[in-house]
Structure formats: structure tokens, C-alpha cells
Amino acid sequence: MSPPPSPGGLVLVAGIGNIFLGDDGFGVETARALAGRRLPGHVEVVDIGVRGVHLAYQLLDGYDTLILVDATARGADPGTLYVIEHDAAAGAEAPGAPLDGHRMTPDAVLALLGTLCAGTGGQPPRRTLVVGCEPASLEEGIGLSPPVSAAVPEAVRLIEEMLRPDGPPAGPTPTPMAREAAQ
């Protein structure tokens, strides 16, 4: 696993997704659960939902680390958690790509942030991590599927470990989880 976020810098944990599309609400539900926990003072948790443009502007406030929490379809069993380090070079959209405020994927948000930083002299977060969960269903409907709902407390525990100054403990995790670098 990657080293933990810098203890001295501001950390933004952003739950993203659409609660009206089943398991796409994973990030929002995880952010809600995490917001009720006792966290270090340099950590802010927000429920972004589908407001990706808002997230891009909020990131101009000078966060060192961004942790996105989202449904992430990568082909594993529903409820599988992933920790993915975002590679800005690999995830950047082509210049001049159309901006659609209703389909702000994490890569689109980060591309917009790059444009905003270039125009304002701001700096994007030094690190961006994604805590993703394999969805079972992204069909219209409110509520998470049982495996994704069961993954929410595990995601909260994982994020809390990531936020500890000493980082997560070494060794295997008790639930199915993939940890990888973005490709």
C-alpha cells in the first residue's frame, strides 16, 4: 500500500456518486459514515455527490491529499474494495475535452482542477487516492446492494487507517481488497 497522506498537510475525503443509481451511492454513504467519526483536525470529509464542479473549486483551497471515495467497477466481486493511487499523467483528459457538469468523473474533475490551477496559480493536491468499491448494480433506485452496504464500514476503517500518522499496518487485510496503482 502507498504511504499514508502527509500528516502536516490538509486532507480532503470526498464521497462522490449518485444516490439515485443504487451502488453509485457508495461514496456518499461512506462519507456520511466517516463524518460521524472522530478524525484528525487536518482532515475534512465532504459529501460531494454529483457536484464534481464544486469539488474542483473546493480543491483550490490548498489540500495536500485528496481521497476520493466512489463506486469503481474493475471486474471483481461486488463489495470488493480498492485503493488506487491516481496518476495525473495517465488520467488527464485531452485539452479542449468538453465539460459536462452532469458526468463529472474523477478524471474530469482533476482535469478541470488542472485548468483552474493554471488560471489562478493554485496547486492541485500532491496526492490523489481513490477508495473504490466494486458495485453490484448501478441501475436506478435508492439504496446500496447488500455486498456494497457491507463494504461501507470496512471502507471507513480503511480510510481511518490511511489517515493515521503511522499509516496502515503491514500484512493482509481481513476482507477481500485490491490495492493497486492507477494504470
Give the residue ranges of DSSP H helices in the chain: 26-35, 52-58, 88-91, 106-120, 146-163
121 by Cβ neighbours in 10 Å (0-12 / 13-18 / 19+) ranks as exposed
Average pLDDT (3-10) is 59
End-to-end CA separation in angstroms for the chain: 15
CATH number, span 11-181: 3.40.50.1450
pLDDT of residue 173 exceeding 50? no
pLDDT by residue (tens digit) across 109-158?
A: 777 777 777 777 777 788 888 899 999 999 999 999 999 999 999 999 99
pLDDT by residue (tens digit) across 36-76?
A: 999 999 999 999 888 777 787 788 788 889 899 999 999 99
Amino acid (1-letter code) at residue 63: Y
Could you give the CA distance from residue 1 to residue 145 in angstroms, rounded to a whole number?
Answer: 27
The domain ranges of the chain are 11-181
